[in-house]
Amino acid sequence: MPSRQRPTWSEQLRTRHGGPVCEITLDMEAECPHREGLACGDCLLCDSHGGDTGAFLEGRNLKGQILSGLDVARRRFHTDRVILYLQNHSTTCVAFDAFKNRIDEALVIAEEAGAIVVGLSVGTRPDLVVEDVLNHLVALGGSGLEVWLELDIQTLDDAGLRYLRRDHDSRCSLDACAKARRRGIALCAHLISGIPGERKDQLARSAERLSQEGVRGYKFHPLHVLADTELETLFRRGEFNPPSLEHYVESVALALEVLNPEAEIRRLTADVRPPRLIAPQWITAKPRVLQALTDRLSRPVPALVRRAAKGESQALSEVALHSFFDSIAPLYEAEGRESFSHFAAPSRIAQRFDGGSLFLVALRKGQIRAMAELRPPAHLAMLFVDGDERGQGTGRALIEAIKDEILSSSKTAGHLTVNASPNAVSFYRRQGFLGNDEQTIDGIRFFPMTLEFR
C-alpha cells in the first residue's frame, strides 16, 4: 500500500520470478555471541527469541517449520515459490560446516515438499560476516538462487548503537556491506527508528548512506519493548519512551523519499504482538500504521539535507550549472555566464573543499536536487535548487542547515552573508536577509545581503 510510485517488495519479487513469492522464516538454531556476555552484555532489545520466531524454543524442527511455512504460502498466496529466510539470533554464528549443512538440509526439505525455492536470505550481525560464509553465498547465487545477506545494522549513528549496546560501530557495518558488495551479494539492511537522542531524519540518513554502499533492500521498524529484555527494565523505570506513531511515520516517510525508486522496501513496521510486545501498543494495529504512512506520503515530504563529500564535486557542479543556466543566466551578459561556469566547475568545487568550504546537499529519490556552499567563516557562496525541487521548502531547509552549522561551530549569535542573484533577492528577504544595493563584478550581477540570527 504505502509508498509513492514505488512497487511493493511482493510486486518486485513477482516480476522477477514470474509469480507470487512467499518468504518462509526459519529458526536454524544458531546462537549469538553477544548474548553470552561480550563487553557490553546483550543488546538492549533482545529477548529469548533473539529476534526470530522462537521455533526451536517451541520444539519445532526445521522440517516442521518449512512444511508449515509452505502450507501458508499455498493457502494464502496460492504459490509454491518461496524464499527461505534464515533469521534466528545471528545465523552465521555456527561453525561453517554446520551453517552450510543446515542450508543444504533446508533446501532438500523444501524441494522434497514440492516448494520452488527461488531465493535464500541470511540474517546476521555486521561483525559476524566472515569470508567462508560470503563465499558460500556466492556459490549458492551461482546455482540460480536469489541470495541476500540481511544485516542487523539498526542505525549508522554511533551514539544510537551504543544506546542499543550493539558492541559494534557504524564502521563495522559499512565494512561488512563493502565485503558483501565486492562479491556481488545482494544486501538488505535492518534499520530502527526511535532510538533516544537520534535526529528526526536519522533513519533516512542511515538508509541513504547505506544505499551508497550498495544496499538494495531495507526493513524498517520502530524501537519497541519486548518482554524480558533490558529495554523493558528501562521502560518500567520510566527511562525509555517508545516512539510515537507520528514520529515513526515521519521517519519512514523521510527514508522512503530519499531512497532511489529501485530500492526494495521489504518491511515497513514491526510484526509482534502481546504478550511478547510490551510497548508501543500502536504496533499491533498494522493496517493503521500503513494507512498513516500512506496518508503521510500523500503530502509533500522534505528532502534530506546532509553534508556533501569532495567525491560529489561533479554532482554538485551539475546541479549548480543546470540551475544557473535554467533560471539565472538569462539575466547576465556573456562575461557573467562564463565567470560562473568557471566558478561552478567540478575542479573548482573540489579545490574549495580543500580550502575549507562546507557543502551541503538536499537529496530526493537517490539524487542530489539542491546544494549550498558555506565559505568560512560565514558566507553563503552558492545556493541552487534544481528544477521541480523549487517551491518545496528545500532552499529554506538548506539555509536552516547552514545556520545550524554556523551556530554549532561558533556557539554564538550568527551572521551570514550572501551575494544574491537579482531573481533570488525576494527569496532571501523572506528568509530574513537585508540588503538592496546591486553590484556587478566580472559580469556577475548581485545584491550583497546579510542575515543576523540566533
Q: Which of 59, 81, 61, 62 is nearest to 70 (CA)?
A: 81
User: CB of residue 218 vs ligand SF4: minimum separation in angstroms?
Assistant: 18
- Judged by CB, which is closer to ligand SF4: 30, or 308? 30
CA distances from 80 to 112, 189, 267 (A): 12, 26, 22
- Judged by CB, which is closer to ligand SF4: 37, or 114? 37
User: CB of residue 6 vs ligand SF4: minimum separation in angstroms?
Assistant: 28
Please tell me whether residue 34 binds ligand SF4 under the rule CB under 6 A: yes
Q: Can you name the residues that pair with 187 across neighbouring β-strands?
A: 149
Tell me, what DSSP letter sits at residue 346? H
- Chosen residue from 8, 10, 29, 35 binding ligand SF4 by CB under 6 A: 35
Which 55-94 residues touch ligand SF4, going by CB under 6 A?
Answer: 89-90
Residue with cell 504478550: 275
Please tell me whether residue 51 binds ligand SF4 under the rule CB under 6 A: yes
H runs (alpha helix) in 33-95: 62-77
User: CB of residue 144 vs ligand SF4: minimum separation in angstroms?
Assistant: 30
H runs (alpha helix) in 355-416: 394-410
Please tell me whether residue 42 binds ligand SF4 under the rule CB under 6 A: yes
Interacting span for ligand SF4 (CB under 6 A) from 44-52, 71-79, 101-109, 347-355? 44-52
- Judged by CB, which is closer to ligand SF4: 156, or 380? 156
Residue with cell 559494534: 168
Please tell me whether residue 32 binds ligand SF4 under the rule CB under 6 A: yes
Q: Per-residue b/e over 135-173, b at no fewer than 16 CB within 10 Å?
A: ebbeebbeeebbbbbbbbbbbbbeebbebbbbbbebebb
User: CB of residue 124 vs ligand SF4: minimum separation in angstroms?
Assistant: 8
Interacting span for ligand SF4 (CB under 6 A) from 28-36, 222-230, 256-264, 335-343? 28-36
Contact present, 332 and 438 (Cβ < 8 Å): no
Number of residues that bind ligand SF4 (CB under 6 A): 12
Contact present, 122 and 149 (Cβ < 8 Å): yes
Please tell me whether residue 43 binds ligand SF4 under the rule CB under 6 A: yes
For residue 311, report the phi and psi dihedrals to the nearest 5 degrees.
-65, -10
- Judged by CB, which is closer to ligand SF4: 126, or 302? 126
Q: Residue numbers of the site for ligand SF4 (CB under 6 A)? A: 32, 34-35, 42-43, 46, 50-51, 89-90, 125, 152
